[in-house]
Protein backbone atom coordinates (compact mmCIF):
# COMPACT_ATOMS: atom_id res chain seq x y z
CA UNK A 1 0.00 0.00 0.00
CA UNK A 2 2.79 2.42 0.84
CA UNK A 3 4.39 2.17 -2.60
CA UNK A 4 1.39 2.29 -4.93
CA UNK A 5 1.78 6.05 -5.48
CA UNK A 6 5.46 7.07 -5.21
CA UNK A 7 6.14 10.59 -3.95
CA UNK A 8 8.77 12.99 -5.28
CA UNK A 9 12.06 11.09 -4.73
CA UNK A 10 13.91 14.40 -4.33
CA UNK A 11 11.74 15.61 -1.45
CA UNK A 12 13.63 15.83 1.87
CA UNK A 13 11.56 13.15 3.64
CA UNK A 14 11.04 10.87 0.63
CA UNK A 15 10.61 7.27 1.80
CA UNK A 16 9.47 8.19 5.32
CA UNK A 17 6.29 6.33 6.30
CA UNK A 18 3.85 8.10 8.60
CA UNK A 19 0.64 6.70 10.08
CA UNK A 20 -1.67 9.54 11.13
CA UNK A 21 -4.28 8.75 13.78
CA UNK A 22 -5.32 12.38 14.10
CA UNK A 23 -8.17 14.72 13.34
CA UNK A 24 -9.21 18.37 13.48
CA UNK A 25 -6.12 20.64 13.42
CA UNK A 26 -2.88 20.19 15.41
CA UNK A 27 -2.24 16.56 14.39
CA UNK A 28 -3.36 16.88 10.75
CA UNK A 29 -1.34 20.11 10.45
CA UNK A 30 1.81 18.24 11.49
CA UNK A 31 0.88 15.43 9.09
CA UNK A 32 0.43 17.83 6.19
CA UNK A 33 3.84 19.40 6.79
CA UNK A 34 5.44 15.96 6.80
CA UNK A 35 3.55 15.14 3.60
CA UNK A 36 4.68 18.34 1.87
CA UNK A 37 8.23 17.39 2.84
CA UNK A 38 7.80 14.11 0.99
CA UNK A 39 6.65 11.58 3.60
CA UNK A 40 4.00 9.01 2.75
CA UNK A 41 1.25 9.92 5.20
CA UNK A 42 -1.67 7.54 5.57
CA UNK A 43 -4.56 9.06 7.47
CA UNK A 44 -6.78 6.65 9.41
CA UNK A 45 -10.32 7.95 9.77
CA UNK A 46 -13.32 6.61 11.62
CA UNK A 47 -16.34 5.58 9.51
CA UNK A 48 -17.72 9.07 10.18
CA UNK A 49 -14.49 10.66 8.93
CA UNK A 50 -12.48 13.57 10.28
CA UNK A 51 -15.02 15.94 11.79
CA UNK A 52 -13.57 18.89 9.92
CA UNK A 53 -14.97 17.43 6.68
CA UNK A 54 -18.27 18.89 7.90
CA UNK A 55 -16.93 22.25 9.12
CA UNK A 56 -18.42 24.28 6.28
CA UNK A 57 -19.22 26.48 4.55
CA UNK A 58 -17.21 27.11 2.48
CA UNK A 59 -17.33 23.75 0.72
CA UNK A 60 -15.19 21.95 -1.85
CA UNK A 61 -16.59 19.47 -4.38
CA UNK A 62 -13.96 16.88 -5.28
CA UNK A 63 -14.03 13.26 -6.46
CA UNK A 64 -17.78 13.19 -5.97
CA UNK A 65 -17.52 14.22 -2.32
CA UNK A 66 -18.57 17.50 -0.72
CA UNK A 67 -16.26 18.46 2.13
CA UNK A 68 -15.34 21.61 3.99
CA UNK A 69 -12.52 23.87 2.88
CA UNK A 70 -11.25 23.67 6.48
CA UNK A 71 -10.50 19.96 5.98
CA UNK A 72 -8.56 20.67 2.79
CA UNK A 73 -6.42 23.24 4.61
CA UNK A 74 -4.75 20.51 6.70
CA UNK A 75 -4.80 17.21 4.79
CA UNK A 76 -3.07 17.77 1.45
CA UNK A 77 -1.04 14.91 0.00
CA UNK A 78 -2.22 12.18 2.37
CA UNK A 79 -3.94 8.89 1.77
CA UNK A 80 -7.10 7.96 3.62
CA UNK A 81 -8.25 4.61 4.98
CA UNK A 82 -11.31 4.02 7.13
CA UNK A 83 -11.04 1.91 10.27
CA UNK A 84 -13.41 1.22 13.14
CA UNK A 85 -11.25 0.52 16.19
CA UNK A 86 -14.05 -1.61 17.64
CA UNK A 87 -13.79 -3.94 14.64
CA UNK A 88 -11.04 -6.56 15.24
CA UNK A 89 -10.17 -6.83 11.54
CA UNK A 90 -9.86 -3.05 11.16
CA UNK A 91 -7.80 -2.84 14.34
CA UNK A 92 -5.44 -5.55 13.13
CA UNK A 93 -5.01 -3.66 9.87
CA UNK A 94 -4.07 -0.45 11.69
CA UNK A 95 -1.56 -2.34 13.84
CA UNK A 96 -0.02 -3.83 10.71
CA UNK A 97 0.35 -0.36 9.24
CA UNK A 98 2.05 0.80 12.44
CA UNK A 99 4.51 -2.10 12.26
CA UNK A 100 5.80 -0.85 8.90
CA UNK A 101 5.71 2.86 9.75
CA UNK A 102 8.57 5.12 10.77
CA UNK A 103 6.23 7.52 12.58
CA UNK A 104 2.84 7.30 14.26
CA UNK A 105 1.17 10.66 14.81
CA UNK A 106 -1.88 10.73 17.08
CA UNK A 107 -3.97 13.29 18.95
CA UNK A 108 -6.40 11.22 21.02
CA UNK A 109 -6.99 12.06 24.67
CA UNK A 110 -4.29 10.70 26.96
CA UNK A 111 -4.76 6.96 27.49
CA UNK A 112 -7.43 6.43 24.85
CA UNK A 113 -5.36 4.47 22.33
CA UNK A 114 -4.03 2.13 25.03
CA UNK A 115 -7.54 0.65 25.19
CA UNK A 116 -7.06 -0.56 21.61
CA UNK A 117 -3.42 -1.62 21.85
CA UNK A 118 -2.37 1.32 19.73
CA UNK A 119 -0.24 3.06 22.36
CA UNK A 120 3.51 3.48 22.14
CA UNK A 121 4.32 0.71 24.62
CA UNK A 122 2.49 -1.91 22.56
CA UNK A 123 3.39 -0.73 19.06
CA UNK A 124 7.08 -0.24 19.87
CA UNK A 125 7.40 -3.90 20.92
CA UNK A 126 6.76 -4.93 17.31
CA UNK A 127 8.52 -1.87 15.85
CA UNK A 128 11.40 -0.72 18.11
CA UNK A 129 12.41 2.01 15.66
CA UNK A 130 8.99 3.65 15.79
CA UNK A 131 8.82 7.38 16.54
CA UNK A 132 5.43 7.85 18.16
CA UNK A 133 4.20 11.45 18.56
CA UNK A 134 1.25 12.17 20.83
CA UNK A 135 -0.44 15.57 20.63
CA UNK A 136 -2.78 16.44 23.48
CA UNK A 137 -4.01 19.55 25.22
CA UNK A 138 -1.94 19.11 28.36
CA UNK A 139 0.54 16.29 27.77
CA UNK A 140 0.90 12.77 29.12
CA UNK A 141 1.69 13.84 32.70
CA UNK A 142 0.46 16.37 35.24
CA UNK A 143 -2.90 17.03 36.91
CA UNK A 144 -4.67 17.98 33.66
CA UNK A 145 -3.24 15.15 31.54
CA UNK A 146 -6.63 13.49 30.98
CA UNK A 147 -8.50 16.70 30.12
CA UNK A 148 -9.38 17.59 26.55
CA UNK A 149 -7.58 20.63 25.17
CA UNK A 150 -9.09 23.15 22.74
CA UNK A 151 -7.26 25.95 21.03
CA UNK A 152 -9.47 28.76 22.37
CA UNK A 153 -9.16 27.48 25.93
CA UNK A 154 -5.39 27.08 25.58
CA UNK A 155 -5.04 30.60 24.19
CA UNK A 156 -6.70 31.84 27.36
CA UNK A 157 -4.69 29.63 29.72
CA UNK A 158 -1.31 30.24 28.10
CA UNK A 159 -1.28 34.02 28.44
CA UNK A 160 -1.83 34.70 24.73
CA UNK A 161 -5.18 36.39 25.28
CA UNK A 162 -3.91 38.46 28.19
CA UNK A 163 -1.33 39.90 25.77
CA UNK A 164 -3.65 40.39 22.78
CA UNK A 165 -6.12 43.24 22.25
CA UNK A 166 -6.40 46.89 23.14
CA UNK A 167 -5.24 47.90 26.64
CA UNK A 168 -8.71 48.88 27.81
CA UNK A 169 -10.56 46.29 25.76
CA UNK A 170 -11.44 42.65 26.20
CA UNK A 171 -8.64 40.07 25.97
CA UNK A 172 -8.69 38.66 22.44
CA UNK A 173 -7.84 35.39 20.81
CA UNK A 174 -5.69 35.48 17.71
CA UNK A 175 -7.20 35.39 14.23
CA UNK A 176 -5.91 31.86 13.61
CA UNK A 177 -5.79 28.84 15.93
CA UNK A 178 -2.26 29.65 17.00
CA UNK A 179 -2.08 27.08 19.82
CA UNK A 180 -3.05 24.22 17.52
CA UNK A 181 -0.85 25.41 14.65
CA UNK A 182 2.24 26.04 16.76
CA UNK A 183 1.86 22.64 18.42
CA UNK A 184 1.72 21.06 14.96
CA UNK A 185 4.92 22.86 14.01
CA UNK A 186 6.71 21.93 17.22
CA UNK A 187 5.55 18.34 16.74
CA UNK A 188 7.24 18.15 13.35
CA UNK A 189 10.45 19.45 14.93
CA UNK A 190 10.17 16.86 17.70
CA UNK A 191 9.53 14.04 15.22
CA UNK A 192 12.51 15.01 13.09
CA UNK A 193 14.74 15.27 16.16
CA UNK A 194 13.67 11.78 17.26
CA UNK A 195 14.33 10.44 13.76
CA UNK A 196 17.81 11.99 13.81
CA UNK A 197 18.47 10.37 17.19
CA UNK A 198 17.26 7.04 15.81
CA UNK A 199 20.08 7.22 13.28
CA UNK A 200 22.52 7.13 16.22
CA UNK A 201 20.75 4.70 18.53
CA UNK A 202 18.65 2.52 16.23
CA UNK A 203 15.63 3.05 18.48
CA UNK A 204 12.56 5.21 18.25
CA UNK A 205 10.85 6.94 21.15
CA UNK A 206 7.66 8.57 22.38
CA UNK A 207 7.40 12.31 21.66
CA UNK A 208 4.95 13.94 24.10
CA UNK A 209 3.59 17.23 22.74
CA UNK A 210 1.07 19.46 24.54
CA UNK A 211 -0.80 22.48 23.22
CA UNK A 212 -0.30 24.29 26.53
CA UNK A 213 3.46 23.60 26.58
CA UNK A 214 3.87 24.86 23.02
CA UNK A 215 1.86 28.01 23.67
CA UNK A 216 3.76 28.80 26.86
CA UNK A 217 6.96 28.20 24.90
CA UNK A 218 5.94 30.91 22.43
CA UNK A 219 5.67 33.60 25.11
CA UNK A 220 9.36 34.35 24.47
CA UNK A 221 10.25 37.92 25.51
CA UNK A 222 6.90 38.38 27.25
CA UNK A 223 7.69 35.45 29.52
CA UNK A 224 11.09 36.99 30.32
CA UNK A 225 9.38 40.28 31.15
CA UNK A 226 7.55 38.49 33.95
CA UNK A 227 10.39 36.16 34.97
CA UNK A 228 12.86 39.04 35.37
CA UNK A 229 10.55 41.65 36.92
CA UNK A 230 7.80 39.67 38.64
CA UNK A 231 5.18 41.84 36.94
CA UNK A 232 2.80 40.97 34.12
CA UNK A 233 3.53 42.57 30.74
CA UNK A 234 0.65 44.83 29.72
CA UNK A 235 -1.73 44.31 26.81
CA UNK A 236 -0.71 46.93 24.27
CA UNK A 237 -2.79 46.54 21.14
CA UNK A 238 -0.57 47.36 18.16
CA UNK A 239 2.13 49.04 20.21
CA UNK A 240 5.44 47.38 21.09
CA UNK A 241 6.40 47.10 24.74
CA UNK A 242 10.08 47.84 24.13
CA UNK A 243 10.21 49.93 20.93
CA UNK A 244 8.80 53.31 19.85
CA UNK A 245 7.76 54.62 17.35
CA UNK A 246 6.44 51.28 16.21
CA UNK A 247 2.83 50.67 15.26
CA UNK A 248 -0.08 51.38 12.94
CA UNK A 249 -0.27 54.87 11.47
CA UNK A 250 -2.83 56.56 9.23
CA UNK A 251 -2.26 57.53 5.62
CA UNK A 252 -4.62 59.43 3.34
CA UNK A 253 -6.10 56.19 1.92
CA UNK A 254 -5.84 53.75 4.82
CA UNK A 255 -3.33 52.61 7.42
CA UNK A 256 0.21 51.25 7.36
CA UNK A 257 2.58 49.53 9.73
CA UNK A 258 5.81 51.37 10.54
CA UNK A 259 8.56 49.53 12.43
CA UNK A 260 11.70 51.70 12.83
CA UNK A 261 13.19 49.45 15.49
CA UNK A 262 16.45 51.29 16.22
CA UNK A 263 17.85 54.80 16.37
CA UNK A 264 19.17 54.78 12.82
CA UNK A 265 15.86 53.68 11.31
CA UNK A 266 13.98 56.20 13.43
CA UNK A 267 16.20 59.04 12.15
CA UNK A 268 15.61 57.93 8.56
CA UNK A 269 11.87 57.96 9.13
CA UNK A 270 11.92 61.50 10.54
CA UNK A 271 13.95 62.70 7.55
CA UNK A 272 11.56 61.02 5.14
CA UNK A 273 8.59 62.65 6.84
CA UNK A 274 10.27 66.05 6.74
CA UNK A 275 10.61 66.31 10.50
CA UNK A 276 14.39 66.66 10.77
CA UNK A 277 13.72 69.26 13.45
CA UNK A 278 12.82 66.45 15.88
CA UNK A 279 16.24 64.84 15.56
CA UNK A 280 17.71 67.16 18.16
CA UNK A 281 14.84 66.75 20.64
CA UNK A 282 16.12 65.03 23.79
CA UNK A 283 12.71 63.51 24.46
CA UNK A 284 13.05 61.50 21.22
CA UNK A 285 16.83 61.01 21.16
CA UNK A 286 16.86 57.40 22.43
CA UNK A 287 14.46 54.49 22.40
CA UNK A 288 14.06 54.79 26.17
CA UNK A 289 13.16 58.46 25.79
CA UNK A 290 10.76 57.68 22.95
CA UNK A 291 9.00 55.10 25.09
CA UNK A 292 8.55 57.66 27.85
CA UNK A 293 7.03 60.10 25.33
CA UNK A 294 5.25 57.53 23.17
CA UNK A 295 1.84 59.25 22.96
CA UNK A 296 3.28 62.59 21.89
CA UNK A 297 5.63 60.99 19.36
CA UNK A 298 2.94 58.79 17.82
CA UNK A 299 0.69 61.81 17.41
CA UNK A 300 3.46 63.76 15.65
CA UNK A 301 4.22 60.90 13.27
CA UNK A 302 0.53 60.29 12.58
CA UNK A 303 0.03 63.94 11.66
CA UNK A 304 2.71 63.57 9.01
CA UNK A 305 1.86 60.13 7.62
CA UNK A 306 -1.78 61.14 7.17
CA UNK A 307 -0.61 63.54 4.43
CA UNK A 308 0.77 60.65 2.31
CA UNK A 309 -0.80 58.18 -0.06
CA UNK A 310 -0.09 54.62 1.03
CA UNK A 311 1.79 53.48 -2.08
CA UNK A 312 3.98 56.57 -2.10
CA UNK A 313 4.94 56.28 1.57
CA UNK A 314 5.64 52.55 1.37
CA UNK A 315 7.73 52.96 -1.78
CA UNK A 316 9.84 55.69 -0.19
CA UNK A 317 10.23 53.67 3.01
CA UNK A 318 11.42 50.69 0.96
CA UNK A 319 13.92 52.86 -0.90
CA UNK A 320 15.28 54.22 2.40
CA UNK A 321 15.37 50.81 4.09
CA UNK A 322 12.68 51.67 6.66
CA UNK A 323 10.59 48.63 7.65
CA UNK A 324 7.01 49.36 6.63
CA UNK A 325 4.09 47.57 5.04
CA UNK A 326 0.39 47.55 4.28
CA UNK A 327 -2.27 45.83 6.38
CA UNK A 328 -3.54 43.35 3.83
CA UNK A 329 -6.85 41.59 3.68
CA UNK A 330 -6.50 37.93 2.65
CA UNK A 331 -7.35 38.68 -0.99
CA UNK A 332 -4.55 41.24 -1.03
CA UNK A 333 -2.14 38.72 0.50
CA UNK A 334 -2.63 36.31 -2.39
CA UNK A 335 -2.34 39.14 -4.92
CA UNK A 336 0.91 40.41 -3.38
CA UNK A 337 3.77 40.21 -5.84
CA UNK A 338 6.13 38.71 -3.27
CA UNK A 339 3.65 36.01 -2.28
CA UNK A 340 3.10 35.29 -5.97
CA UNK A 341 6.83 35.17 -6.68
CA UNK A 342 7.39 32.71 -3.84
CA UNK A 343 4.63 30.42 -5.11
CA UNK A 344 2.84 30.20 -1.78
CA UNK A 345 -0.48 29.32 -3.39
CA UNK A 346 -0.76 25.85 -4.89
CA UNK A 347 -3.57 24.30 -6.93
CA UNK A 348 -3.82 20.52 -6.98
CA UNK A 349 -6.51 18.86 -9.07
CA UNK A 350 -8.63 22.00 -8.82
CA UNK A 351 -8.25 22.42 -5.05
CA UNK A 352 -6.34 25.52 -3.90
CA UNK A 353 -4.03 25.50 -0.91
CA UNK A 354 -1.04 27.11 0.76
CA UNK A 355 2.25 25.22 0.57
CA UNK A 356 4.46 24.61 3.55
CA UNK A 357 6.93 27.54 3.56
CA UNK A 358 10.17 25.65 2.92
CA UNK A 359 12.49 26.39 0.01
CA UNK A 360 15.53 24.14 -0.45
CA UNK A 361 18.56 24.50 -2.69
CA UNK A 362 18.85 20.76 -3.35
CA UNK A 363 15.31 19.43 -2.83
CA UNK A 364 11.67 20.08 -3.66
CA UNK A 365 8.42 19.73 -1.79
CA UNK A 366 6.09 16.86 -2.68
CA UNK A 367 3.06 18.84 -3.85
CA UNK A 368 1.59 16.08 -5.97
CA UNK A 369 -1.94 15.41 -4.77
CA UNK A 370 -4.77 17.13 -2.90
CA UNK A 371 -6.52 16.02 0.28
CA UNK A 372 -8.01 12.53 -0.03
CA UNK A 373 -11.61 11.53 -0.29
CA UNK A 374 -12.62 9.60 2.85
CA UNK A 375 -11.50 5.99 2.51
CA UNK A 376 -10.01 6.54 -0.94
CA UNK A 377 -7.11 4.19 -0.20
CA UNK A 378 -9.00 1.48 1.60
Give the Å distances, CA to CA, from 134 to 75, 131, 155, 218: 18, 10, 20, 19
311 is catalytic: no
Contacts of residue 333, Cβ cutoff 8 Å, sequence gap at least 6 = 339
Is 79 in a helix, a strand, or coil? strand
Give the Å distances, CA to CA, from 22 to 62, 63, 86, 136: 22, 22, 17, 11
Angle separating helix axes 178-201 and 26-36, nearest 10 degrees: 50
User: From start to end of 174-213, where are the E strands?
Assistant: 206-210
The answer to whether the CB of 77 falls within 8 A of the CB of 34 is: no
Q: What DSSP designation does 306 have?
A: T
What is the separation, in whole angstroms, between the first and last Cα of the chain? Answer: 9
Task: Report, in this order, helix, strand and coil percent for the chain, each rounded to 5.
Answer: 40, 15, 45
Is 131 in a helix, a strand, or coil? strand
- What is the rounded distance in angstroms from the CA atom of residue 58 to the CA atom of residue 62? 13
Q: Can you give 239-297 as a three-state secondary structure string? A: CCCCCCCCEEEEECCEEEEECCCCHHHHHHHHHHCCCHHHHHCHHHCCHHHHHHCHHHH
Contacts of residue 240, Cβ cutoff 8 Å, sequence gap at least 6 = 246, 247
50, 102, 119, 180: the catalytic one is 180
Q: Where are the alpha helices (DSSP H) in 37-107?
A: 69-72, 88-99
Catalytic annotation, residues: 180
Amino acid sequence: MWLDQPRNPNAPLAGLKVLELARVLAGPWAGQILSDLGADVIKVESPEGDGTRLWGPPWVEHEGERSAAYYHATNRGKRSVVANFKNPDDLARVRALAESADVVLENFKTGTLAKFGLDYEVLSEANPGLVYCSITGFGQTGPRAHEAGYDFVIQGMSGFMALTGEPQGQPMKMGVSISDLSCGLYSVIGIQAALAMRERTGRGQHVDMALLDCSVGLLASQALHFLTTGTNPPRMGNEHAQVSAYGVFPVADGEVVLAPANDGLFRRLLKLLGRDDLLTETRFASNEARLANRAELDALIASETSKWQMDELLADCAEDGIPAGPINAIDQVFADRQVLARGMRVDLDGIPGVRSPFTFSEAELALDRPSPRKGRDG
